[in-house]
């Protein structure tokens, strides 16, 4: 049976140097375990334990990357330590499978500073559910009130920064690169954060998002090995408007052509 794997290269950027095309690719996930082609438990060679579809995907990806592509690998930081560690297992195996020479950097977590905002979403969803079940007469009022107050993310919010979970995982991933992955000890490290962190001087430093404290320790540990990465979203900027004179154009975005 042959399986054809098609990749979305929308996050690939390229430039030429001396006639040779160099490209960069951001790979935010090595493999999604929910695809049904996953392994269970720690193994030495993850790519050999994957299902047929995932093996084919990794082989095709390696063919593409070895055409002079550098990959920024992303690995998960969430409220689920088991999921985080399993994701890292996939990522480090894929990094070794493709090769050190094609690694741009390792991004540990994506917008971790915003995890605490999901607490509000969970609470709102619980409140909505409580309202529904009360209206249907399924639960008594006092039980519904407890459901409204239930906040399953409080521990996670406290653990991520205040409890040191994020920092500990960064150090673990860095140690893994040195101890378990020969040739990868000098890989650049980063985490991708958004504009929210600029809400402090110089970075936000609240109980839910102690970004300044985190960066202070990280800078002391890694120095110039640490790369600073930020997501920017121009469409959230209230000072950018569509040019009313030219449909679909943003004023000043493109040079005027006579």
Domain parsing of the chain, residue ranges: 12-114+161-236, 117-152
Higher pLDDT, 91 or 53: 91
Task: Please tell me the least confidently modeled range out of 23-37, 69-83, 108-122.
Answer: 23-37
Higher pLDDT, 34 or 29: 29
Averaged pLDDT of the chain: 76
Alpha carbon of residue 193 to chain centroid = 9
For range 78-82, the mean pLDDT: 92
- The model's pTM is 0.73
pLDDT in tens, 138-171: 444 434 433 333 344 688 889 999 999 999 999 9
pLDDT tops 90 at residue 38: no
The distance in angstroms from the start CA to the end CA of the chain is 57
CB of 47 within 8 A of CB of 104?
A: no
**Residue appearing with tokens 């404290």:** 213
pLDDT in tens, 193-205: 999 999 999 999 9
Q: Measure the CA dihedral 121/124/129/135, to 10°.
A: -160
């Amino acid at each position: 049976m042959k399986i054809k794997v098609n990749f979305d290269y929308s996050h690939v950027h390229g430039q030429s140097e001396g006639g040779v095309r160099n490209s960069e690719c951001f790979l935010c996930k090595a493999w999604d375990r929910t695809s049904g082609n996953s392994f269970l438990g720690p193994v030495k060679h993850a790519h050999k334990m994957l299902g047929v579809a995932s093996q084919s995907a990794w082989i095709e990806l390696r063919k593409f990357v070895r055409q002079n592509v550098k990959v920024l690998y992303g690995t998960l930081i969430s409220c689920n330590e088991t999921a985080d560690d399993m994701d890292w297992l996939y990522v480090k195996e894929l990094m070794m499978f493709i090769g050190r020479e094609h690694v741009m950097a390792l991004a540990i977590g994506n917008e971790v500073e915003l995890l605490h905002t999901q607490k509000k979403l969970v609470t709102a969803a619980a409140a909505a559910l409580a309202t529904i079940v009360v209206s249907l007469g399924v639960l008594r009022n006092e039980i519904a009130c407890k459901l409204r107050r239930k906040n399953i993310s409080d521990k996670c919010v406290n653990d991520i920064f205040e409890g040191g979970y994020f920092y500990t995982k960064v150090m673990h991933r860095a140690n893994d690169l040195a101890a378990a992955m020969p040739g990868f000890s000098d890989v650049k490290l980063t985490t991708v954060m958004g504009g929210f962190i600029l809400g402090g001087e110089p970075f936000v430093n609240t109980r839910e998002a102690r970004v300044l404290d985190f960066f202070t320790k990280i800078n002391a540990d890694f120095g110039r090995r640490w790369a600073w990465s930020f997501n920017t979203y121009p469409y959230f900027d209230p000072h950018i408007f569509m040019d009313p004179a030219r449909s679909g154009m943003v004023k000043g975005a493109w040079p005027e052509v006579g």
